[in-house]
Amino acid sequence: MSYKAIEDFSQSARKTIDFLLAEFGGLQVGIASPALVENIMVDSYGSSQPLKSVASVGVEGGTTLLISPWDKGLLKAIEKAIIDDTSLGLSPQNDGVGIRLNIPPLTKERRQELTKVASKYGEESKVKIRKARQNAMDIIKSDDDLSEDMQKSEEKNLQDLVTKANKEIETSVKEKQASILKV
């Protein structure tokens, strides 16, 4: 049973790190990336859907995003969703066929702010890792089929995985912060 706990922890850690990297993709760093807007919720057909479900998002010229809705009737709803998302601070330009978003270069203050956001995302990921570790540890300790030595061995294996996951998170955060600060 405890081997399953280690496997479950490993999968949970991988998902946490993948989620962290996806969150990093959504940080505006002065470069156009579809990840900036693809999860904005758009009101369409009576429900709220992510932008990527109602339109294609492409990069034009490295600093412009081009949003092409599959139904042109959604242009106003997409435009409104982008304006309402104040974290982006972008002004959509509706040309009747699609929406263009020009990504402005970042100021020094905004870069510093984004490094703090990246750090916060890293800390949130570490908390998730700690929670997953605690769950696995509870399973190991409650497994009556394991001898005391086997429990200690499993706990050590688990701690090695935790250390590895935390190092990967720290490395990812440092790399993202470096790319944010790079002018």
All domains of the chain in start order, with CATH? 2-25+107-181 (1.10.132.20), 34-102 (3.30.1360.40)
SS3 state of residue 100 = strand
Q: Among candidates 83, 85, 118, which has minimal Cα distance to 99?
A: 83
Angle between helices 2-25 and 108-142 (to 10 degrees): 170
Pull the structure tokens for residue 44: 């369409």
Overall pTM surpassing 0.95 (yes/no): no
Where do we find the tokens 């800390």? 123
Summarised one tens digit per residue, pLDDT across range 74-115 is 888 888 888 887 666 778 888 888 889 888 777 888 788 888
10 Å Cβ neighbour count for 166? Answer: 17
Summarised one tens digit per residue, pLDDT across range 8-53 is 999 999 999 999 988 887 776 667 778 788 888 888 888 888 888 8
Q: Provide the sign of the torsion angle of the four alpha carbons 122, 172, 21, 158, taken in this order.
A: negative
Q: Which helix (H) or strand (E) holds 43?
A: strand 41-44
Q: Report, as an integer, the average pLDDT of 124-138.
A: 95
Chain-centroid distance of CA 139 in Å reads 29
Cβ(176)–Cβ(24) under 8 Å?
Answer: yes
Return the DSSP state at 28.
Answer: -
How far from 56 is each of 34, 37, 103, 108, 123, CA to CA, in Å?
9, 11, 17, 31, 32
One-letter amino acid for residue 75 of the chain: L
Bridge partners of residue 56, in order along the sequence:
68
Q: How many residues does the chain have?
A: 183
